[in-house]
Amino acid sequence: MHVVKPSAGCARQSTQVTIPNSLIGMPPGYNGKDPVPAVMAFHAAGNDNTSMEKTFKNSDLAKKYFMVYPNASGNGWNYSVDKSRYTDAYAALLSQACVDENRIYATGHSSGAQMIAQLLCSGDGDFDAVAPVASSVYCSKWKKGPIPSLAIHGVKDSERAAYGLNDGNGAKDIQTYLTSNMCSMTSTPFDPVLTGCTSVKTGIDGKPFDDGCVEFSGCSVKTRWCNHNDPQYGTSNHGIPCFGVRAIYDFFESL
């Protein structure tokens, strides 16, 4: 049974919230008194936090969750430089906003997803679940142990090859989640809501569109993997797929 843990910010009973280096989004009806779940959304390189705000602004996620969109100091997230931006934003979220400390989640795209992975590898990331899109490998196991995860990765992510990461289909990326969450290799397909995919008929691999989503068995915590072939994001499928925003919301809601 989920136990709500009100943050220190609930005592302020205020809707005036400032979080350093971040944009925020409050769900409708937020009153600063009743704890709500929160999501930190980390942007990709070549973008800033307005890109993630635009992605999630009118989504089901933003209608229910307190959204925090941190901004990197440079073109993309640099762990050694930007770790303090995460820690400052996280601390301000707890002290300024009224959120449920047991439901603070993270999502991110590309460089933002990689920042999440590095935080988990170092033990600095204090999240209750994560949903990274187009991440990469930084360690073989999370330092603090299992964490509920939805990992989303394209089947032909040429961006990974361009950076010499040799992980175009994400097969290496998912292994850290499986090891950390003590999963077996057995999985069961699940079908995400595909309302945003009505115009997609053929994937980047020339095959019929496939979300590629499975849930792994035997895990200590819920672990999902979507190895999709959505052809968006130029000549690669490195982007957030058409079903991604809704799948992230549904995953967090399932916990």
Residue 119's CATH number = 3.40.50.1820
Single residue among 127, 161, 192 that ends a domain in this structure: 127
pLDDT digits (tens, 9 = 90+) for 190-242: 999 998 899 999 999 999 999 999 999 999 999 999 999 999 887 788 999 99
Q: What is the pLDDT of residue 235?
A: 75
Domain count, the chain: 2
Q: Are residues 141 and 119 in the same domain?
A: no
Q: Are residues 150 and 108 in the same domain?
A: no
| Beta strand spans in 89-189 (E) | 99-109, 129-133, 149-154, 187-189
Q: Are residues 71 and 167 in the same domain?
A: no
Q: Are residues 75 and 162 in the same domain?
A: no
Arithmetic mean of pLDDT, 141-161: 91
pLDDT beyond 70 at 50: yes
Single residue among 101, 127, 153 that ends a domain in this structure: 127
pLDDT beyond 80 at 167: no
Q: Are residues 235 and 166 in the same domain?
A: yes
pLDDT beyond 90 at 251: yes
Q: Are residues 108 and 19 in the same domain?
A: yes
The residue type found at 204 is I
Arithmetic mean of pLDDT, 137-142: 94
Q: What is the pLDDT of residue 229?
A: 95
Single residue among 127, 154, 184 that ends a domain in this structure: 127
Q: What is the pLDDT of residue 164?
A: 64
Instruction: Please give the Cα distance from 19 to 41 (Å, whole number).
Output: 13
pLDDT beyond 80 at 160: no
Q: Are residues 91 and 148 in the same domain?
A: no
Arithmetic mean of pLDDT, 145-160: 91
Q: Are residues 1 and 29 in the same domain?
A: yes
Instruction: Please give the Cα distance from 211 to 203 (Å, whole number).
Output: 10
Q: What is the pLDDT of residue 31?
A: 98
Q: Which residues pair with 216 in a beta bridge?
A: 187
**Which token pair is 193?**
């809501």
CA count, 13 A, side-chain hemisphere, 252: 28
Q: What is the pLDDT of residue 176?
A: 95
Q: Are residues 118 and 148 in the same domain?
A: no
Per DSSP, 55 falls in state: H
Instruction: Look over the chain and give the mean of its residue pLDDT values, rounded to a whole number.
Output: 95
Q: Are residues 138 and 123 in the same domain?
A: no
pLDDT beyond 90 at 159: no
Task: Return the H-helix or E-strand segment holding 23.
Answer: strand 22-25
Q: How many CB atoms lie within 10 A of CB 144?
A: 16
pLDDT beyond 90 at 42: yes
Percent of the residues in the chain that have a pLDDT greater than 90, as a whole number: 87
Q: Are residues 115 and 145 in the same domain?
A: no
Give the rounded distance of the alpha carbon of 128 from its chain centre: 11
Q: What is the pLDDT of residue 146?
A: 98
- Domain of 17, in residue numbers: 1-127
At 162, is the pLDDT very low, low, confident or very high (cuts 50, 70, 90)?
A: low
Q: Are residues 176 and 70 in the same domain?
A: no
